[in-house]
Structure 1
Amino acid sequence: MRYDLVIHLALLLHILFETVLGHYGFFLILCRVHDSLQNVELIYSIYYDKTELLRFNSTENKVVAYTEYAMKWADDFNKNPELLHKEAEKNIADCKRFGEQFLPMVEKSVKPEVVVRSVRQASGKSPAMLICSAYDFYPKPIKLTWMRDDKEMTADVTSTEELADGDWYYQIHSHLEYFPKPGEKISCVVEHASSHRPMIYHWDSSLSESDRNKMITGAAGMVLGVIMAAGGLIYYKRKHTAHII
């Protein structure tokens, strides 16, 4: 698997360049890891007031100036390429040690959590709609397919792209519009690197959405009734005990 991991090894060091007039600068180190920790590219950059002045790339072992003011600095640095290479090797070693903490996270596969549910019932000429949602999976590539009685459905299917959660994981949603038939079997098939075989999730059409809601409401009412009864019993016992005392 190919990956390109960028590690921000050095944070903003504005204290070294900050002035009383509000001007500031910072020194930034980037570690680019290509394919493996044996192939690490190091980039130094010096900024001042949001302008990049100098950049060093370990692949070229050369400092490049981006402003006329910084050209003399670049020339001075490039007069001693052995020192540049030596300093770069030290930081590359730090990059490798730091990268070892992240590579297991990058390389692992995380199985998605999949939910199939109804979002609309059929009414007249309007079809019903199901949604198959896959959450918290990694890596990004994934395929969702709808099956109806073991035949793939391609019409009336719309899907989102893989959506980044912002924490290395992704989610995706696929919608199916259809007119229900008695005894049919509808499934959402998920193919992902976290599983060696397709993962199949069946839609239980034995209960309509309204029936499900009624069951949930009834169960909630039963629980609430038990809680109220228990509270009344506790109150009665406390009051009865107080009268005896």
Structure 2
Amino acid sequence: MQYDRVIHLALLLPIWFETVHGRYGFILALCRVLNSLQNVEFIYSLNYDKTELLRFNSTENKVVAYTEYAMKWADDFNKKPEWLHKEAEKIIAHCKRYGQLFLPEVEKTVKPEVIVRTVRQASGKIPAMLICSAYDFYPKPIKLTWMRDDKEMTADVTSTEELADGDWYYQIHSHLEYFPKPGEKISCVVQHASSNKPMIYDLGPSLSESDRNKLITGAAGLVLGLIMAVGGLIYCKRKHTALIISAGSQQLACSEPLQTPSNAEE
């Protein structure tokens, strides 16, 4: 599965200029990498007083004006397409050399952490709801698919867009509503640039509300039984120790010689 990646490889330092009346402008030169350093796009933008006046894109090799004031400039530039192409190629060559330093980062991919879980059990006419969540992946493009016994499910499936975490990573969530059948297998299939084959995550067996309550009650009873057993062992241990001490004291008392009147006189 091929994905198109757009990475801002080199953001050249903008050139700021300001008038005595507080108005300002800047020139922005930007290199963008499309999938690899063999496909680099150069964009030049002239902005003044919060308005973009014109923009050059090396892919189109054309200058576009966004205000009436800048139309004459754009027309003059567009009359020299060969010169525009030559100048853009010079800058792109610099971007490629600069980008070699960051090639590992450009090619970097991070495998998503995927969780498949039940968020609502089926009840009567209300279907069950599952959610497949993929966290902390890079780059952005990703595809989540639901499978039921190895057959793709397309009905009653809703997904969010790729959501930016704010730290270069992304997350996405897909929901599935369905009525479960005994013995079936539900899977979430994740396709991403970090893996050369689809990643399949099966939904584990889920418990009904009554079964969950029984499990909790049984676990609580087991814990209580263990506490009582440990308490009984401690009690027996202490009682046994006290009996040994008591028996030793009695034996010591019995081993002393009997006092007789003759012995007392002596």
Fold conserved between structures, TM > 0.5: yes
**In structure 2, what is the equivalent of residue 189 of structure 1?**
188
CA distance 1:131–1:11, change in 2 (3 Å) = same
For 1:140-155, list aligned pairs within 5 A.
Answer: 140-147=141-148, 150-152=149-151, 154=153
**One-letter amino acid matched to 2:12:** A
**In structure 2, what is the equivalent of residue 130 of structure 1?**
130
CA distance in 2, matches of 1:59, 1:188: 41
Higher Cα Rg: structure 1 or 2? Answer: 2
| Between 37-46 and 118-127, the greater mean CA deviation after superposition | 37-46
| Between 93-102 and 62-71, the greater mean CA deviation after superposition | 62-71
Q: Gaps spanning 5+ residues in structure 2: where? A: 224-266
**One-letter amino acid matched to 1:96:** K
For 1:1-245, list aligned pairs within 5 A.
Answer: 2-7=4-9, 9-14=11-16, 17-53=17-53, 55=55, 68=69, 71=72, 85=86, 89=90, 91-100=91-100, 103-139=103-139, 140-147=141-148, 150-152=149-151, 154=153, 157-166=156-165, 167-181=168-182, 184-193=183-192, 194-205=194-205, 207-208=207-208, 215=216
Contact 1:157–1:177, Cα closer than 8 Å, also in 2 = yes
CA offset at residue 160 of structure 1? 0.6
CA distance in 2, matches of 1:73, 1:195: 45
Contact 1:134–1:172, Cα closer than 8 Å, also in 2 = yes
Identity of counterpart residues, as a percentage? 49
**Partner SS for 1:205:** coil
The aligned length equals 211
Q: 1:54-82, CA deviations, whole angstroms, 9 ceiling, x for partnerless residues?
A: 55566788877765578579969x99x87
**One-letter amino acid matched to 1:143:** L
CA distance in 1, matches of 2:106, 2:209: 40
Q: What is the TM-score when the length of structure 2 is the normalising length? A: 0.57
Q: Gaps spanning 5+ residues in structure 1: where? A: 223-245
**One-letter amino acid matched to 2:147:** W
CA distance in 2, matches of 1:87, 1:48: 22
**One-letter amino acid matched to 1:13:** I
Aligned-residue Cα RMSD (Å) equals 4.3
Contact 2:26–2:46, Cα closer than 8 Å, also in 1 = yes
